[in-house]
Structure 1
Amino acid sequence: MPSAKKLKGPIKMKFVIKMCCWILLILYLLVLYKYLVLDRAYYPAHRSFNLIPFDSIKQYINNKDDYNFNTWFMNLMGNFMMLMPLGVLLPVLHKRFRKFKNFIVFLIGINLTIETFQYYSGYGSLDIDDVIMNSSGGIVVYMIIKAILNIQLLNRILIKEYEIKQDV
């Protein structure tokens, strides 16, 4: 990879943005590791799983009063927010992830890897609702970013069209 000193203008800016995104991705992965492994109790003999979609989500919503706020919040909103950073970082870091199909396949693959790791390692349970919530958060951010970029592109096209008409 070339050094930033040799690059000029927009190319230098893209390089700086990508480097910042790589740093953010590494920091994000460290925080994720801390949350998923270091902050969790280790129960290698106790393995639980839920393969019924929306079962855990319904439990947390219907029985909200049975849980303290932190448990309730982390299981619903925490799971929704967990992979949100990937909705921004992956498309910036690699053009392959700018296609929705590639992004979603990778996101679900990451989810399944995390859930499988939790199940077999004893650091958590395998829950299809976690996959649903984690994926939903990543997809929402991805769609928002795509919409913003499409609006910016449309604005550029419209401004250029307007300038061309003004010149005529």
Structure 2
Amino acid sequence: MRQRKIKHKILWIAALIIYLYLLTKLILFKGGPVDFEVVRVQLMAFLHQPDLIHTRTVNLTPFQEISRDWNSLSLHRPGTAIHLVGNVMAFIPLGMFIPMLMGNKLLSGANVFLSSLLLSLGYEVTQLLTGMGIFDVDDLMLNTLGGVIGYILFTMALGMKRLLIGEESRRVKKEYNPKESPV
């Protein structure tokens, strides 16, 4: 039984690594080949010329891009829907991986929120420093929302599983009975 749990956890960790690789490929490399040498070269260029930061496109106004995309949402501009929905969808798996790997502990919802925010921030800062994309606060919000939605879906699926197989949804502590021996 213990070996089975270990194998199960290793599979989840491998799936998480593959997911993070694909997410990096999508966000930083826009679906192209992953080449960390490009990131290194871009970072070195920034370190030699820190004034390059002023040439980067940055959105620090919350909801600016979200409202622009929402207002221009139509069948004739599918890119806007892809931007809105894609940023959310990309982080939904993270919201499932974290509680699965943590054993669905009490604070895993807060960990999902924080992990989604920090991972998204890492991607956004990398885009800012390398010029490989645009730093966008709306992406931070949408990505974090995606992680939280993933967590909600995970807990709903877990609850449905428990309901279907007849497990108790929460562990009930055994009440103290002084007549029973503590053995």
The aligned residue for residue 65 of structure 2 is 56
After superposition, the C-alpha distances for 1:127-168 in whole angstroms (9 at most, x for unaligned) are 11101111111101101212332454464138xxxxxxxxxx
After superposition, the C-alpha distances for 1:98-154 in whole angstroms (9 at most, x for unaligned) are 512222122211121111111111011111110111111110110121233245446
| Contact 1:90-1:97 within 8 A present in 2 as well | no
Once the two structures are superposed, the pairs formed by residues 56-95 of structure 1 within 5 Å of their partners are 56-64=65-73, 68-69=77-78, 71-95=79-103
After superposition, the C-alpha distances for 1:66-93 in whole angstroms (9 at most, x for unaligned) are 9742x22331111011111111111122
Query: Which whole-Å CA distance do the structure 2 matches of 1:103 and 1:39 have between them?
Result: 25
Query: Which whole-Å CA distance do the structure 2 matches of 1:61 and 1:31 have between them?
Result: 27
Query: Which whole-Å CA distance do the structure 2 matches of 1:130 and 1:68 have between them?
Result: 19
Query: Which whole-Å CA distance do the structure 1 matches of 2:134 and 2:31 have between them?
Result: 11
Structure 1 residues 116 and 96, CA gap change in structure 2 (3 angstroms): farther
The aligned residue for residue 130 of structure 2 is 121
The aligned residue for residue 146 of structure 1 is 155
The aligned residue for residue 32 of structure 1 is 23
Superposition TM-score, scaled by structure 2 size: 0.68
Matched, 1:130 2:121: no
| Contact 1:91-1:98 within 8 A present in 2 as well | no
Which shifted more, 35-44 or 116-125?
35-44
For structure 2, the 5+ residue unaligned runs are 33-37, 47-51, 170-183
The aligned residue for residue 5 of structure 1 is none
The one of the two structures with greater contact order (alpha-carbon pairs below 8 A, sep at least 6) is: 1
Aligned counterpart for 2:9 among listed residues 14, 18, 36: 18
Query: Which whole-Å CA distance do the structure 2 matches of 1:98 and 1:107 have between them?
Result: 17
The aligned residue for residue 168 of structure 2 is 157
* More helix by percentage: 1
Which shifted more, 39-48 or 134-143?
39-48
Query: Which whole-Å CA distance do the structure 1 matches of 2:21 and 2:138 have between them?
Result: 23
Query: Which whole-Å CA distance do the structure 1 matches of 2:128 and 2:105 have between them?
Result: 28
Deviation at 1:38, TM superposition (A): 2.4
1:38 is paired with a residue of what secondary structure? coil
For structure 1, the 5+ residue unaligned runs are 1-8, 159-168
- State the superposition RMSD in angstroms: 2.9
1:53 is paired with a residue of what secondary structure? coil
